[in-house]
Amino acid sequence: MTTPSPLLSRPGAVEASGPDAGVASHYGEPLREQRALAAGTAVVDLSHRGVVTVSGPDRLTWLNTLSSQQVTGLQPGESSELLLLSVQGRIEFDARVVDDGGTTWLIVEAAEAAPLAEWLNKMRFMLRVEVNDVSGDWAVLGSTKDVAEWAGLLAWRDPWPHVGAGGYAYSVVAEAEHPGLERPWIEYLVPAAELVQTVGDRPLAGILAAEALRVAAWRPRLGAETDDKTIPHELDLLRTAVHLSKGCYKGQETIARVHNLGHPPRRLVFLQLDGSQHTMPAPGSQVMFGERKVGTVTSVAQHYEMGPVALAVIKRSVAPDEILTVLDGEEPYIAAQEVIVAPDAGQVVGRQTGFLKGTRS
């Protein structure tokens, strides 16, 4: 169980539930907090994040053999994202990665830390690596801008939405026009004992604000957009978390086969919800096309400019111009979709034209 953050003692703090338990959902003014976070004047408490360290001279080459990402040459302070997959190519762990020259830091969802550390320790064999779950000793703070006073802290900078080396964009939107560019994202690692002191009197935003900006940026989150069948192609994660020409790793065959010869069965989509209602659908609500269920809402947010928005995972066969309905119990919400993952994503062998953007070497 996550230890509640000391920042919950701030006036107006309301604790979040579910995967974000332990930090504030908001501090009394969610939309104002969201504007401040977007402007870079507020920071968000992410001290419930899990933190796993991998130290030792073999750490990067070892992580390289296990994961979807090329991290052998990761330089101190450089950020990346890696996935650990099942043999079937399904996402099991999604880690934010930054190295300090002696230790590789993996920032993960709270529920991932202990299982990830356990799994990595089982894979050590005779290599010179040491794995530790240090979630209790370290906290994370999120911001959309560099905080000058925190320049000495190790920071992970979200590569999203840029297409990394060896990556591939499945979006119909050009990188220069991707909404994720409006949300530069930095996660600072802070000793847990120094969390309150580090924040000082800086304005805080709750997790609702961070989630709204994430949804608007089309940024998938493990445990929200994923289930036990999710493959990276469905969420456009080949963009930041997969290197398509690196050496062998578990799940690589599925990654290559779907990318080169097939299509992902589902696709991530952004939904603009009808704002005339006073409620919003819950994550897990059905996405309907007529009388047919075609997907599931994965994240919902009230955006300070766009109003109610959501991410959903739907069947690839749903046409991009169809108006959908989100059904929460008996309550219907009209939803206009914006394509994140193109319906024709994948099958790049022999492809001459199309929306998809190729790999960077």
Q: What is the pLDDT of residues 197-216, one digit of tens each?
A: 999 999 999 999 999 999 99
Q: Where are the domains of the chain?
A: 6-159+181-216, 265-340
Rounded Cα–Cα distance for residues 256 and 346 (Å) = 10
Q: Return per-residue pLDDT of the chain as tens, 361 residues.
A: 578 999 999 999 999 999 999 999 999 999 999 999 999 999 999 999 999 999 999 999 999 999 999 999 999 999 999 999 999 999 999 999 999 999 999 999 999 999 999 999 999 987 899 999 999 999 999 999 999 999 999 999 999 999 999 999 999 899 999 999 999 999 999 999 999 999 999 999 999 999 999 999 999 999 999 999 999 999 999 999 999 999 899 999 999 999 999 999 999 999 999 988 889 999 999 999 999 999 999 999 999 999 999 999 999 999 999 999 999 998 999 999 999 999 999 999 866 544 445 555 4
| Best CA proximity match to 327, nearest among 261, 264, 257, 274 | 274
DSSP class per residue in 168-183: -B--SS-GGG-GGGG-
Peptide bond into 184 cis (omega under 30): no
Side by side, which strands form the sheet with 103-108?
Answer: 79-85, 91-99, 103-108, 50-55, 130-133
pLDDT value at position 1?
Answer: 55
Query: Which CATH superfamily includes the segment(s) 265-340?
Result: Aminomethyltransferase beta-barrel domains (2.40.30.110)
Between the alpha carbon of residue 59 and those of residues 91, 100, 254, the distances in Å are 21, 12, 25
CB atoms under 10 Å from CB of 237, counted, come to: 28
| Best CA proximity match to 22, nearest among 154, 192, 171 | 192
pTM over 0.85: yes
- The CATH architecture to which 6-159+181-216 belongs is 2-Layer Sandwich (3.30)
Rounded Cα–Cα distance for residues 252 and 244 (Å) = 9
Can you list the positions of beta strands (E) in 47-194?
A: 50-55, 79-85, 91-99, 103-108, 130-133, 138-143, 155-157, 186-191
Rounded Cα–Cα distance for residues 23 and 5 (Å) = 6
pLDDT value at position 18?
Answer: 96
